[in-house]
Amino acid sequence: MIIHHPILGPRDAQEFVYLGDANLIDRPDGMVAGVEVFHDYLYNRTNPAGEHQELWYHEQGDRSWLVVTRNTVTHEITRVELARDVARARRRTK
């Protein structure tokens, strides 16, 4: 696979490490949320057959964490963003 890194351009997927569902961005506040909320955050996934937002880390590169929007059926990648930008944007809309 090829991931179009927003800063570095097209890069082979072998340069990256895969983490999983990008909902890991939305970590609850541990001083507020309890075990149940954290359990949902950590374990519950939608596992779609289709478009999926997921976290990839450019370990053999610039160490950026990326949010990659990938179709789990076709592997087509429609969007790649810096996770930092996505996280900041999600916070603003909260």
Partner 1 sequence: MTQSHRIEGGQIDRTKTLRFTFDGIPYQGHPGDTLASALLANGVRLMGRSFKYHRPRGPISSGSEEPNALVELRTGGRQEPNTRATVAELYEGLTANSQNRWPSLRFDAMGVNDKLSTFFAAGFYYKTFMWPKSFWEKLYEPIIRRAAGLGSVTREEDPDGYDKGFLHCDLLIIGAGPTGLMAGLTAGRAGKRVILADEDFRMGGRLNAETYAVGDAQGADWAAATVAELSSMPNVRLMTRTTVVGAFDHGIYSAVERVSDHLLTPAKGKPRQILWRIYTGRAILAGGATERPIAFENNDRPGIMLAGALRAYANRWGVKVGERVAVFTNNDDGLRTAKDLQSRGVDVVAVIDSREGGDLLPGIRHLRGAEVIDTSGKLGLTSITVRQLNGRSETIAVDALGVSGGWNPNVNIHSHHRSRPVYDPAIAAFVPGKDGPPGLLVAGAAAGQMSTHAALKTGRDAAIAALDLTTAPELPQAEDAPVGITPLWHVAHGKGRAWIDLQNDVTVKDVKLAKQENFTSVEHLKRYTTLGMATDQGKTGNVIGLAIMAELTGRSIPETGTTIYRPPYTPVAMGTLAGRSRGREFKPFRLTPSHHWAKEQGAIFVEVGNWLRTQWVPKPGETEWRQSVDREVLATRKSVGICDVTTLGKIDIQGTDAGAFLDRVYANTFSTLAVGKCRYGLMLREDGIVFDDGTTARMGENEYVMTTTTANAVAVFRHLEFCRQVLWPEMDVQLISTTEAWAQFSVAGPNARKLLEKVVDQDISDAAFPYMGAANITVGGLRARLFRISFSGELAYEIAVPTRYGDALLREMLARGAEFDPIVYGTEALGVMRIEKGHVAGGELNGQSTALNMGLGKMVSKKKDSIGMVLSQREGLTDENGYRLVGVKPVDPQAKLTAGSHFLEKGAAPVAANDGGWLTSKVYSPHLGHDIALGYLKGGDKKIGQRMRIVNLLAGLDTEVEIISPHMFDPEGERLRG
Alpha helical stretches, state H, the chain: 35-43, 83-93
Please spell the DSSP secondary structure of 29-73, one letter per residue.
PTTT--HHHHHHHHH-----SSEEEEEEE-TTTT--EEEEEEETT
Among 38, 40, 45, 60, binds partner 1 (CB under 8 A): 38
Residue 5 or 83: the one with the smaller Cβ distance to partner 1 is: 83
User: Is the separation of the CB atoms in 18 and 58 below 8 Å?
Assistant: no
Any contact of residue 42 with partner 1 (CB under 8 A)?
yes
- Backbone CA torsion sign across 33, 25, 64, 88: negative
Minimum Å distance from CB 47 to partner 1? 19
Minimum Å distance from CB 46 to partner 1? 19
Any contact of residue 18 with partner 1 (CB under 8 A)?
no
By CB under 8 A, name the binding residues for partner 1: 1-2, 13, 17, 19, 24-25, 27-31, 33-35, 38-39, 42, 55, 57, 59, 63-65, 74-77, 82-84, 87-88, 91
